[in-house]
Amino acid sequence: MKRALTGMTALALIWSAGLARAEDRKLTVAVSIPAADHGWTGGVVYQAERAKTLLEAQHPGLKIIVKTSTDGASQANALEDLTTQGIDALVTLPQNSDELTDPIRQVKAKGVFVTVVDRALSDPTIQDLYVAGNNPDVGRVAGEYMKSKLQSGNVVVIRGLPIVIDEERQKGFDTAVAGSGLKVLEKQFGNWSRDDAFKVMQDYLAKYPKIDAVWCQDDDMAVGVLEAIKQASRKDIQFVIGGAGMKEMIKRVADGDTMIPVDVLYPPGMIATAMELTVIGLYDQLPVRGRYVLDATLVTKANAKTFYFPDSPF
């Protein structure tokens, strides 16, 4: 009780300090993120807009510019345009590490506070703050759950796209199931698309008479996988594990759906975490520099409600 009170007082202090200073401090924060080209990035855009509204309401002098870009090259251009407008901080989820390291270095050279989200730059000395999910753990947590549930059996895997994130998740999964009784029958790419995952799953079902579980790394793809299983009326598949934390899948977990018993979190909300931390650092001069790696939390029926955002597009 006492601790809670102190916490609240501290919060109130921070709050009032922020308000008091807000009048005379006009600051601009640029947020540069990928365009909503699939569910997860859609979630990122939603969470960034939501955080913008909340933060601008808290700090009247604060201006947040959210800019989405469809690819690495156009994001590099966007970064230049944002910098010329004069910004105090940049929160960015780079399309890819290699292409954007130098453009972000140039932003940094102008004395801007740089927060990097999700995808690490090739040169980590550029960033002041790094906020990310834990990709290897997305695979590891799924693999370990599968191991504990099945002990032995046949597993098929649907991967995303051949990029670093996918490799890290796959490695985490492979390490977790290595040496267990689980046999990975096959891995194929489903391009993080429902339609492609549906196709790959149909083909798996035609190829293998007995499959015990499916790991498809992403909740969007799980939708296609479930539909393919339903169509084939196959009873051998005990469960499917996706990942990320799409609201439909979180709801299935909460409802106790046996086909989707758990989900592994890789929340698009990390962009909002990064924005909040950046703004706290700017206004309240609290120490925020460093690396924040969010857990790949296992969402179960018991805790699913905490992770359910019915209004989010993802």
Partner 1 sequence: MSGISTKSAPTRSLPSVDLAAVAPFAALAVLVALGALVNGNFLSVENLTNVLTRSAFIAIIGVGATFVIAAGGIDLSVGSMAAFVASVMILFMNGGFGDGGLGTVATAMLLALGVGALCGLANGLTTTLGRIEPFIVTLGTMGIFRALTIYLAAGGSIAMKSQDLRALYRPVYFGNVGGVPVPILVIVAIAGLGAFILYKTAFGRHVVAVGSNEDVARYSGIRVNRVKTITYLIQGLCVAVAVLVYVPRLGAATATTGLLWELQAITAVVIGGTALRGGVGRVWGTICGAMILEIIGNIMVLSSFISEYLIGAVQGAIIIIAMLVQRSLMNRARG
Query: Which residues of the shown chain bind partner 1 in the complex (CB under 8 A)?
Result: 35-39, 41-43, 45-46, 159, 162, 186-189, 191-195, 198-200, 202-204, 206-207, 220, 223-224, 227, 231-232, 248, 312-314
Neighbour-count burial of 266, counting CB atoms closer than 10 A to its CB (0-12 exposed, 13-18 middle, 19+ buried):
buried
Bridge partner list, 116: 92, 130
Name which of 202 and 303 has its Cβ closer to partner 1.
Answer: 202
Name which of 25 and 38 has its Cβ closer to partner 1.
Answer: 38
Q: Which of 197, 150, 200 has its CA nearest to residue 176?
A: 150
Name which of 17 and 36 has its Cβ closer to partner 1.
Answer: 36
For residue 196, the minimal CB distance to partner 1 (Å) is: 8
For residue 160, the minimal CB distance to partner 1 (Å) is: 11
Name which of 88 and 174 has its Cβ closer to partner 1.
Answer: 174
For residue 39, the minimal CB distance to partner 1 (Å) is: 6
For residue 206, the minimal CB distance to partner 1 (Å) is: 4
Distance CA 68, CA 74 (A): 9
Distance CA 282, CA 88 (A): 8
Name which of 128 and 186 has its Cβ closer to partner 1.
Answer: 186
For residue 154, the minimal CB distance to partner 1 (Å) is: 14
Name which of 221 and 254 has its Cβ closer to partner 1.
Answer: 221
For residue 173, the minimal CB distance to partner 1 (Å) is: 14
Distance CA 174, CA 144 (A): 10
Distance CA 35, CA 75 (A): 10
Distance CA 191, CA 188 (A): 9
**Token digits of residue 145:** 């759950």
Cβ neighbors of 75 (< 8 A, separation 6 or more) are 32, 34, 69, 94, 95, 100, 103
Cβ neighbors of 118 (< 8 A, separation 6 or more) are 93, 131, 132, 133, 270, 271
